[in-house]
Amino acid sequence: MKMIRTKMKTKEEAIIMGIPTIDLSMENRSELSEKVVKACEEFGIFKVENHKVPLEVVSRMEEEGAEFFAKPSMEKQQAGPPNPFGYGCKNIGNNGDVGELEYLLLHTNPLFISQTSKTISIDPNKFSGAVNDYIEGAKGVACEILELVVEGLGVQHKFALSNLIKHLQSDSVLRINHYPPNINNKPSIAFGEHSDPQILTIMRSNHVTGLQASTHHGLWITVPPDPTQFFVMVGDALQVFTNGRFRSVRHRVLLTNTMKARMSMMYFGAPPLNWWITPLPEIVSPPQNPSRYKPFTWGQYKKAAYSHRLGDCRLDQFKVHHDTPY
């Protein structure tokens, strides 16, 4: 098995460098996969350039999102509440978390999108067309990254992870967040610190700054927005698939004084509900390197995650030894 061990950046280096950028058009595939593994290990978040998603697909999704959020509150409420999917305002989850935002949470299954679009838009076909195209694009980026991860880790089956989110019954989710302008003179946390429970998150936002990610040293670094590119974040399930070699990135949204609203589109790539989340066989080698996590299905993890507060470390209860750091 090919193992690429990298040295952890110092606090200072991490802040000066910011998060890594990876050019997906790089021709040397093994160099590219090494870069992806290194970025996942050291930061758990990185920007990807030269993806193949047409900008027109991104703009159509953004226009549909902007059109929806510009509607009167009464009309938007008709697409809610977000239990489990639909329009939400300020409340995040069901356990008392709140944020300065409104959002649409959509399951990525096209049948679900087609049904839900009727409550969201007066032109449901236009809305569902834009959403389905965006989901296909974001899923493509997620699959590309997961295939590079698998190659970089020396795992035999190239599609071991990407097949999970390509699966017809994949439980992937699309979330469109809309943060109103922060007219107070002080920065405020609009979406609290958390990690995403799924395998991989593909994020894209307009040009309004807000996303911050925590380094392994616990320092917050601001992620400068880039509306033409995507950002990739390691989720809890990928932490388990790599037996803790990658760690899910803790992130939050901090809004500084801005006259414009922030809009972010988040694709959360997840396996089918009955899929087991256990370290990839090539990653564990008992007895020296046993699994650090008890086996669980995605459905079990999701249920546990949804019974927690946003900022909780939800993987802790699945660790074999509770005293291990990750």
Ligand X SMILES: O=C(O)CCC(=O)C(=O)O
Ligand Y SMILES: C=C1C[C@]23C[C@@]1(O)CC[C@H]2[C@@]12CC[C@H](O)[C@@](C)(C(=O)O1)[C@H]2[C@@H]3C(=O)O
Secondary structure letter of residue 310 according to DSSP: T
- Beta carbon nearer to ligand Y, 150 or 277: 277
In this complex, which beta carbon is closest to ligand Y, that of residue 81 or of residue 124? 81
Q: Are strands 45-49 and 230-234 parallel, antiparallel or unpaired?
A: antiparallel
**Residue range at the interface with ligand X (CB under 6 A); choices 73-81, 115-123, 202-210, 281-289:** 202-210
Of these partners, ligand X, ligand Y, Fe ion, none, which one is at the site of residue 250 (CB under 5 to 8 Å by kind)? none
Stretch that binds ligand X, among 45-53, 57-65, 138-146, 205-213 (CB under 6 A): 205-213
**313 burial class (0-12, 13-18, 19+ CB within 10 angstroms)?**
middle
Site string for ligand Y, 28-67 (x = CB under 6 A): ----------------------------------------
Distances (CA, A) of 133 to 68, 126, 136, 226, 248: 17, 11, 5, 20, 27
Q: Which stretch binds Fe ion (CB under 5 A): 87-95, 97-105, 191-199, 292-300?
A: 191-199
Question: Could you say which of 62, 102, 171, 196 contacts ligand X (CB under 6 A)?
Answer: 196
Please choose, out of 52-60, 67-75, 110-118, 305-313, the segment that lies near ligand Y by the rule CB under 6 A. 305-313
Beta pairing partners, 202: 232, 267
Single residue of 41, 102, 151, 196 touching Fe ion by CB under 5 A: 196
Assess 93 for contact with ligand Y (CB under 6 A). Answer: yes
Which residue(s) pair with 188 in the sheet? 255
Between CA 297 and CA 236 the distance in angstroms is 13
Smaller CB distance to ligand X: residue 142 or 266?
266
- The option from ligand X, ligand Y, Fe ion, none interacting with 76 (CB < 5 to 8 A, set by class) reads none
DSSP secondary structure, 172-234, as one string: -EEEEEEE----SSS-EEEEEEE--SSSEEEEEE-S---EEEE-TTS-EEE----TTSEEEEE
Three-state SS for 15?
Answer: helix
Sign of CA dihedral 276, 171, 207, 211: negative
**Annotated active-site residue in 60, 175, 250, 262:** 262
Distance CA 152, CA 154 (A): 5
Instruction: Report CA-CA distances (Å) from 262 to 48, 90, 170.
Output: 20, 15, 28
Q: d(Cα 240, Cα 268) in Å, to the nearest integer?
A: 16
Q: What residue number has its CB nearest to ligand Y?
A: 93
Measured from the CB atom, the residue of 102 and 196 that comes closer to Fe ion is 196
The yes or no reply on residue 276 touching ligand Y (CB under 6 A) is no
The token pair at 166 is 């390509």
Q: Judged by CB under 6 A, which of 205, 215, 229, 243 binds ligand X?
A: 205
The footprint of ligand Y (CB under 6 A) covers 92-93, 95, 97, 105, 173, 175, 194, 196-197, 268, 305-306, 308-310
Q: What is the contact surface with ligand X in residues (CB under 6 A)?
A: 175, 177, 191, 196, 203, 205, 210-211, 251, 253, 264, 266
Q: Enumerate binding residues for Fe ion (CB under 5 A).
A: 196
